[in-house]
Structure 1
Amino acid sequence: MEPSHETQQQPKKKASPFKIILLLLGSVLAVVGLGGLGWGIQTYRQMYAGTDISLLDKEPARSTFFYDRSGAVITELTNARMEYMLLNHFPKIMLDAVTAVEDARFYEHHGLDYQGIARAFYQNLKSGYTVEGGSTITQQLAKTMLLTPEQTYRRKLKEAVASLKIEDTYSKDQILEKYLNYIYFGEGAWGLQRAAETYFGKDASQLTLAESALLAGIPKSPTNYSPVKKPEASKERRNLVLSLMAEQGRITPAQRDEAMKEEIRLAAPAAQQTAKIYPSYIDHVINEASQKYGLTEQQILSSGLHIHTNLDPKVQQAAEEVYRNPDFFPEDKGGLQSGIVLMEPQTGAVLGIVGSRNPDPKFREFNYATQNERQPGSTLKPLLVYAPALAAGFGPRDQIYDTETDFGGGYTPMNYRKQFHGWVTLEEALVESYNIPAVALLKEIGIDQGLEFGRKAGLPLQEADRTLGIALGGMSKGTSPLQMAQAYTMFANNGNLAKAYAIRKITDAQGNLVGRETQPVLEPMLEPGAAYTMTKMLEKVVTEGTGRSARMDRPVAGKTGTTQLPDTPEFKDRWGNQIDGSKDAWFVGYTPELVAAVWLGYEKTNKDHYLTTTGGKYPASLFKEVVSRALKDVPVTAFSRPEKYRAYAGGRKRINGENAPKYAERTGESGTAKAAGTPAAPAAAPAPQEAAAAAAAGAQAQTPEAAGAKGEARPAAAGGAAKEPAGGQPGAEGTAAAKEGAAAGGASPPAGGDTAAGAGADGTGADGTGAGEAGPAAGTGGGTAEGTAPPAGSGSTAGSEPPPQTAGGGTGAGSSTQPGGDEADAPAPEAAAGTAAGTGTGATP
């Protein structure tokens, strides 16, 4: 009997819990994914159905309205000036140029170029910032004509959906046709036909390859690539378009090279629409709307917007009235330009702008008040040197030794006419705009501290500006009147910088707010006491120093600035000497109610077109004329003194020669410039990198083209006579009158003694902020060292001591004690002559 074989039942394998979880999770994700996909498809269909692209078939004709600060309509503008042309009217080379630079795959994609988006993403990621965009021509058309300017993902999604619908509705040729007719080409030209007429005076069908490439490059940035305003940038952009066309096989390399050789030849300007009134202000408003609200120029001028501004008609009309009068520009050699910006210092509201002297301004022309980039000269000194010094604890009566100084690396800045003035106070150095003390003070406080302060004030300082020469206004890039006016608001506003803004709010055609309503933005820069002390010092620039042409019947503070001609053969006389002239002239000043910045100069300075004036003459006069008209019938108010203000004058600190003697203590010396035998103070220790960099830059402040500015030149005393600090005795110019000279009020500060509140009548303000710069008393006979009549009632500062008498060694037969400062301003008519017949050694009490 065979044994039975029973089959043994194997135990079943249990499913792994992990696999079960993965299976369940996968199922859930699949369901969710399918649901999300379904939701996405449904959302797309809804957005697609709700996207209205019918506007593309209508010529835009909605005007934009501009309002002043009281709500009254200033003007209205529209872009309904285009001349619509069919695509076959444009040459094929023009179409190739546009697609090459704006959308190379235009005829291949369906509204969205995924390859282009990926390429742009990669390039931007690799560069660390945006260098390339991925928008197609279809997207640009949708964005310009159909959508609001809000910068949100939802708007980008709407743009994508609209692009797809446009591609479904219109052919490629129709899309390109609409794009070329609606796009803005700058200089008031809407559409390609008007652009061809505006720039080249011809029909679009007659455009050459080089002309087509130039026009194709403009729409990306009509202001920056305008062949009228920026021909070099426009030419570079044109050549880029030609290179792209060659790379893409649209033209041959030979055609590219031939077109690149062509010079840009523009037609004579044609009559174009402009704002009916206040063109400079309206142009700036358009720029601000583009920069701050993300609006394109076409949206601004074609979307039926209502733009409410800060324009004050009284202020604006005052500026335009002065700028229309050629009598205020007496040295115009043809083409003299100027710009002025007026702001409310408490809020930053831009109240008025005149951006050129052109009698018939064109729409969107260059604005010298807001777009200009010029070296500001000595108007930069309060911002980068003296204000940071006050913030660091220096006082108006702290002293700097003004003598020829090598600051290291061969950088040896000079005062005007190579004059030196010995020990001068901070206040005197600012009032007279001396150069060497400004550089020495910047070195003392630290160049990085000065630059940081300037950048915080909104100035476009560059890494190349990190040299001691920046103390004299030698910016590598330059700045505009708008930026300078904004920076000076801190002095008139208790140390708070008010950010400039022209637009209060924008609403659309239905009354909905576009973006946010603008509120004043204040940024603390200085303690109120330091700002007030700065204001009192800058008041003396106007009452006693280089800015006397800005004086009016109300409190005024400000600073002059002048930059010299380039040190090139073009500006040499036949003996090889530098021509005595200027490139740029500035005045930046303020009252309690207004702050204004004025620039004067030529668009292109050459041997036939340069200034013979300085910031203290015509720019200061322009400031006075405009501001006095703008404030007509406005009650006179004083600068507001901060609560619990306690003046600090300083007087203990000495810079640039700690052991150097005062001129008054060097018995038997004339106090003249070093060239006349005056011993110099010990040379400052070589500065670290910044001084060497200044020298390497070619002594920046000595040549404007190397970013240097000359100090503000004023007629010099005979023999280059040096002066005591304000509050000390006048320089021993050798006049007989000086021998009888200064009585009470000629006291110099005591050695090592700080002075606080309670300064004399001629301290920094009647409240005695502590400058204590008492000039010689009325009736000195010799006047002050500036050659101006001394203020009546001058007195010595409390606590000051009379210095020892010094025998003056200078001889001055018939010489005048004209100012020895660094502004080349003519003395005011009431300046004291300060002359004496014969020669003599004037003993200075």
Structure 2
Amino acid sequence: MDVVTRKRRQRLQKKRPGFIRMGFRLTLLAGIFAMGGALLVVLYSLGAGAPPLQVDQTTVFYGEDGSIIGESQGGQQRYWVNVEEISPDLIDATLAIEDRRFYSHKGFDFTRIGAAVAANIKSGSKAQGASTITQQYARNLFLSHDKTWSRKIEEALYALRLEMHYDKEDILEGYVNTIYYGHGAYGIEAASRLYFNKSAVNLTLGEAAMLAAIPKGPTYYSPFLEPERAESRQRTVLAAMEETGMITGTQREEAEQEALPLVDSATVTDGRTGPFFQDYVRQLLVDEYELDPQLVEEGGLQIYTTLDPVLQEKAENQLAIELPADTEIQGSLVSIDPRSGAVKAMVGGKNYEQSAFNRATQAMRPPGSTFKPFLYYAALENGFTPTTSFVSEESTFPFNDGEDEYSPGNFGNRYADDFITMAEALAVSDNIFAVKSHLFLGPEALMETAKKAGIDSPLSPIPSLALGTENVNLLELTGSYSPFANGGYRIDPYLIEKVTDGEGNVILETETEKVEVFDPSLAYIMTDLMTGMFDPDMDTYTTVTGRSVAHMINRPIAGKSGSTPADSWMVGFSPQLLTGVWVGYDDNRSLHHGDEGQFAKRIWARTMNEGLAEELKLSFSRPPDVIEADIDLETGLLGAEACGPSRKVAFLEGTEPIKSCTEELEEDDNDKPEGQLEDELPEQKEKFFDRFINWFGE
């Protein structure tokens, strides 16, 4: 056996105090390091400064009446409201269920943390959480929601910074404005609107408890998806409020019995008014105003637009009524205030959910005869009058030294085979008259006039330009009619009144500019000519193009229809409203003009009538140097009862006919009507062909 000698026992006794001293020293050193670490954390938090409290917020779109027409949320609805704008019951419910000691701790509830750690170790998972409101807010602001220890440490640092630099009210306000409540709603205001269609300040106790119940599991406790679970969780919240003395037992019972007016979940969709309009506004903000796309989507901007929600709904309804849902035919519509250029309505297709392609701004199509008003305005500038005459007959125009031919035709191959006036030619949309006028004036006249009015798309100096063969979009074409409606001023269409940031600072504001591009008197005469398409008295060798909708017109309105094999157009206006409509197929297949060709006119007429229903029936303002004369529709001379129907036509003073139609009846049948340009000289007809050939010879 071992024998412990005195010397060895003494050595063992000497070692024991050394172990104690070492343990004490290590403990002391650990404490120093811990205190130093804590000091470093505090110094870091102080040095890092106050963390920003802002988060991505929903951009809101407003109509002209100040109503909310939509939001740019990227799937996340976000608003920021002050604590004073939130129901006190919601605040109490949140504190009771999430963090009862919020006002007493410094960002961390160590008792709850310890219990959670023990539970997680025991279960071998990280499912148990004990985050305070401050910690949750820090996570919402800066961090991911991964349940890792490193994330917990980062969360603690951010939480400490929040507690050191902000008071409790600021932290609580930030929390309830950033917590997720399900279905894309971030923050209590978004949640209150989503579930109850009201502002958070108006929440009842029962509603507040229901919303406070959701953040623990936004899908699991969704009132839309799991109403029974949500109701059970709501009772848990109410019980917690009673336990903390925030409410009485009676209040809890009443809240549990309270009927909650939840929004119908089936209606929780895009919900935007004028989605095509709003998409185009976004595009303009990024492309034209050069705003950062993220700022537009998530910057909490307030975008004030020109959209009239009532007119927009009426326009959408008219497309839905006229365009069969079971076919692929499409349509678009734009309504503008011609006095300011403000776009009041925009429909880019008959169903946005099926196709977000905006046919009002993105589709480039030939406008057909809706281009003729620019041609005839150019003609007025060059000495034509409403009674200037050409022969309407089947015609072929050779070009390229006679190697090629251009043979425009009238709709249905109907021709007067006689002289017709410009007034009649526009009313019945005679193509031969238009091409002859175009050839007589030369190619630049129409191009310059169209561009002055607002046509910015490329145009070519070709004979068929008179018949609208160059592509434009509906917004561009409709806006270019403004000078006719407002007395000669080009006013470019605009959709945005102003944009402010989350603090109300104006980022941009539209300043409209009126530029006189047309002579006011000639613009009035053209407007007067464009009323003829609705006058059945002007039916001659064919009917006026607006006859099918003439019975719908109950006020002074002017316009022009147009068509190509694949397109149907109608653009028209009153002094207060200008509307353009296009109908066709996206793949350019031919329209059945007998029935489908009438859709655009009916959509236009009904939209104009409904849009102007509450407006005064204003006449177009006639300049002092414009007179009106009764004109015989057949001869283009001054009318008389003996000659048949006559119509009042506007002229520049001094250019009106001075000869009566009765005199024409008494004269030789070979005499030519006044204002007649064709065949006045033997070589006149050849002049057209010479001009035509010269275009291509150059």
Q: Distance in 2 between matches of 1:621 and 1:483?
A: 21
Assess if the C-alpha contact under 8 Å between 2:443 and 2:463 holds in 1.
Answer: yes
Assess if the C-alpha contact under 8 Å between 1:61 and 1:80 holds in 2.
Answer: no
Question: Could you tell me which residue of structure 2 aligns to residue 634 of structure 1?
Answer: 615
For structure 2, the residue ranges without an aligned partner over 5 or more in a row are 1-47, 78-183, 185-266, 400-404, 537-543, 670-698
What amino acid is aligned across from residue 603 of structure 1 in structure 2? D
Q: Distance in 2 between matches of 1:490 and 1:537?
A: 14
- Local SS of the residue matching 1:389: helix
Question: Could you tell me which residue of structure 2 aligns to residue 419 of structure 1?
Answer: 414
Task: After TM superposition, give the deviation of residue 284 of structure 1 in Å.
Answer: 2.0
What amino acid is aligned across from residue 577 of structure 2 in structure 1? L
Within 5 Å, give how 1:713-724 maps onto structure 2.
724=634
Indicate whether 1:63 and 2:61 are aligned: no
What amino acid is aligned across from residue 350 of structure 1 in structure 2? V
Superposed CA offset, 1:85-114 (max 9, x none): xxxxxxxxxxxxxxxxxxxxxxxxxxxxxx
Question: Could you tell me which residue of structure 2 aligns to residue 764 of structure 1?
Answer: 649
Task: After TM superposition, give the deviation of residue 523 of structure 1 in Å.
Answer: 2.3
Q: Distance in 2 between matches of 1:769 and 1:554?
A: 29
- Local SS of the residue matching 2:454: coil
Indicate whether 1:374 and 2:368 are aligned: no
Superposed CA offset, 1:741-790 (max 9, x none): x962349xxxxxxxxxxxxx612169999778xxxxxxxxxxxxxxxxxx
TM-score scaled by structure 2? 0.55
Within 5 Å, give how 1:699-718 maps onto structure 2.
none
Task: After TM superposition, give the deviation of residue 312 of structure 1 in Å.
Answer: 1.5
1:72–1:539 Cα change, 3 Å: same
Superposed CA offset, 1:565-607 (max 9, x none): xxxxxxxxxxxxxxxxxx100000011210100000111134x
Superposed CA offset, 1:120-160 (max 9, x none): xxxxxxxxxxxxxxxxxxxxxxxxxxxxxxxxxxxxxxxxx
Question: Could you tell me which residue of structure 1 aligns to residue 70 of structure 2?
Answer: 75
Question: Could you tell me which residue of structure 2 aligns to residue 403 of structure 1?
Answer: 393
Q: Distance in 2 between matches of 1:592 and 1:379?
A: 19
Q: Distance in 1 between matches of 2:631 and 2:548?
A: 29
Indicate whether 1:745 and 2:647 are aligned: no
Task: After TM superposition, give the deviation of residue 550 of structure 1 in Å.
Answer: 3.6
- Local SS of the residue matching 1:763: strand
Q: Distance in 2 between matches of 1:767 and 1:344?
A: 27
Question: Could you tell me which residue of structure 1 aligns to residue 224 of structure 2?
Answer: none
Task: After TM superposition, give the deviation of residue 275 of structure 1 in Å.
Answer: 5.0
Question: Could you tell me which residue of structure 1 aligns to residue 488 of structure 2?
Answer: 495
Q: Distance in 2 between matches of 1:537 and 1:301?
A: 47
Indicate whether 1:467 and 2:450 are aligned: no
What amino acid is aligned across from residue 546 of structure 2 in structure 1? G
Indicate whether 1:431 and 2:427 are aligned: yes
Assess if the C-alpha contact under 8 Å between 1:727 and 1:746 holds in 2.
Answer: no
Q: Distance in 2 between matches of 1:324 and 1:768?
A: 46
Question: Could you tell me which residue of structure 1 aligns to residue 349 of structure 2?
Answer: 356
Q: Distance in 1 between matches of 2:595 and 2:445?
A: 29
Q: Distance in 2 between matches of 1:313 and 1:771?
A: 45
Q: Distance in 2 between matches of 1:765 and 1:455?
A: 25
Question: Could you tell me which residue of structure 2 aligns to residue 386 of structure 1?
Answer: 376
- Local SS of the residue matching 2:276: helix
1:396–1:346 Cα change, 3 Å: same
Q: Distance in 2 between matches of 1:769 and 1:314?
A: 45
Question: Could you tell me which residue of structure 2 aligns to residue 548 of structure 1?
Answer: 547
Indicate whether 1:484 and 2:369 are aligned: no
Q: Distance in 1 between matches of 2:352 and 2:357?
A: 14
Indicate whether 1:599 and 2:613 are aligned: no
Assess if the C-alpha contact under 8 Å between 1:376 and 1:563 holds in 2.
Answer: yes
Matched residue pairs, number?
Answer: 421
Within 5 Å, give how 1:53-452 maps onto structure 2.
61-80=56-75, 274-325=270-321, 328-329=322-323, 334-358=327-351, 360=353, 365-383=356-374, 385-409=375-399, 410-421=405-416, 422-452=418-448
Q: Distance in 1 between matches of 2:630 and 2:643?
A: 16
Assess if the C-alpha contact under 8 Å between 1:549 and 1:616 holds in 2.
Answer: no
Q: Distance in 1 between matches of 2:348 and 2:655?
A: 39
The correspondence for 1:453, drawn from 446, 449, 452, is 449
Task: After TM superposition, give the deviation of residue 559 of structure 1 in Å.
Answer: 0.5
Question: Could you tell me which residue of structure 1 aligns to residue 663 of structure 2?
Answer: 801
Task: After TM superposition, give the deviation of residue 645 of structure 1 in Å.
Answer: 3.0
Assess if the C-alpha contact under 8 Å between 2:360 and 2:475 holds in 1.
Answer: yes
Q: Distance in 1 between matches of 2:630 and 2:487?
A: 18
Structure exhibiting the larger radius of gyration computed from Cα positions: 2
Assess if the C-alpha contact under 8 Å between 1:763 and 1:769 holds in 2.
Answer: no
Superposed CA offset, 1:436-465 (max 9, x none): 1101101111111211111222224435x2
Assess if the C-alpha contact under 8 Å between 1:396 and 1:770 holds in 2.
Answer: no
Assess if the C-alpha contact under 8 Å between 2:643 and 2:661 holds in 1.
Answer: no
Assess if the C-alpha contact under 8 Å between 2:637 and 2:661 holds in 1.
Answer: no
Q: Distance in 2 between matches of 1:286 and 1:538?
A: 35
Q: Distance in 2 between matches of 1:610 and 1:543?
A: 26
Assess if the C-alpha contact under 8 Å between 2:385 and 2:651 holds in 1.
Answer: no
Question: Could you tell me which residue of structure 1 aligns to residue 93 of structure 2?
Answer: none
Q: Distance in 2 between matches of 1:501 and 1:648?
A: 38
Task: After TM superposition, give the deviation of residue 480 of structure 1 in Å.
Answer: 1.6
Q: Distance in 2 between matches of 1:801 and 1:324?
A: 54
Task: After TM superposition, give the deviation of residue 301 of structure 1 in Å.
Answer: 1.2
Task: After TM superposition, give the deviation of residue 526 of structure 1 in Å.
Answer: 1.4
Task: After TM superposition, give the deviation of residue 613 of structure 1 in Å.
Answer: 3.8
Q: Distance in 2 between matches of 1:452 and 1:302?
A: 43
Assess if the C-alpha contact under 8 Å between 1:305 and 1:509 holds in 2.
Answer: yes
Q: Distance in 2 between matches of 1:277 and 1:70?
A: 13
1:450–1:294 Cα change, 3 Å: same
Q: Distance in 2 between matches of 1:309 and 1:435?
A: 40
Indicate whether 1:557 and 2:555 are aligned: no
What amino acid is aligned across from residue 406 of structure 2 in structure 1? Y
Assess if the C-alpha contact under 8 Å between 1:507 and 1:513 holds in 2.
Answer: yes
Q: Distance in 1 between matches of 2:557 and 2:656?
A: 18
Please give the root-mean-square deviation of Cα atoms over the aligned residues, in Å: 3.8
1:77–1:408 Cα change, 3 Å: same
What amino acid is aligned across from residue 801 of structure 1 in structure 2? E
Superposed CA offset, 1:287-333 (max 9, x none): 222233112443311111111111112221221222232xx236x76
Assess if the C-alpha contact under 8 Å between 1:405 and 1:436 holds in 2.
Answer: yes
Indicate whether 1:520 and 2:382 are aligned: no
TM-score scaled by structure 1? 0.46
Q: Distance in 2 between matches of 1:520 and 1:533?
A: 26
1:611–1:274 Cα change, 3 Å: farther
What amino acid is aligned across from residue 74 of structure 1 in structure 2? I
Question: Could you tell me which residue of structure 2 aligns to residue 680 of structure 1?
Answer: none
Task: After TM superposition, give the deviation of residue 407 of structure 1 in Å.
Answer: 3.2
Q: Distance in 2 between matches of 1:457 and 1:496?
A: 8
Task: After TM superposition, give the deviation of residue 60 of structure 1 in Å.
Answer: 5.9
Q: Distance in 2 between matches of 1:648 and 1:394?
A: 16
Task: After TM superposition, give the deviation of residue 426 of structure 1 in Å.
Answer: 1.0
What amino acid is aligned across from residue 764 of structure 1 in structure 2? V
Question: Could you tell me which residue of structure 2 aligns to residue 825 of structure 1?
Answer: none
Task: After TM superposition, give the deviation of residue 402 of structure 1 in Å.
Answer: 2.2
Q: Distance in 2 between matches of 1:319 and 1:59?
A: 39
Indicate whether 1:625 and 2:606 are aligned: yes
Q: Where is the helix percentage greater, Structure 1 or Structure 2? A: 2
Assess if the C-alpha contact under 8 Å between 1:375 and 1:474 holds in 2.
Answer: yes
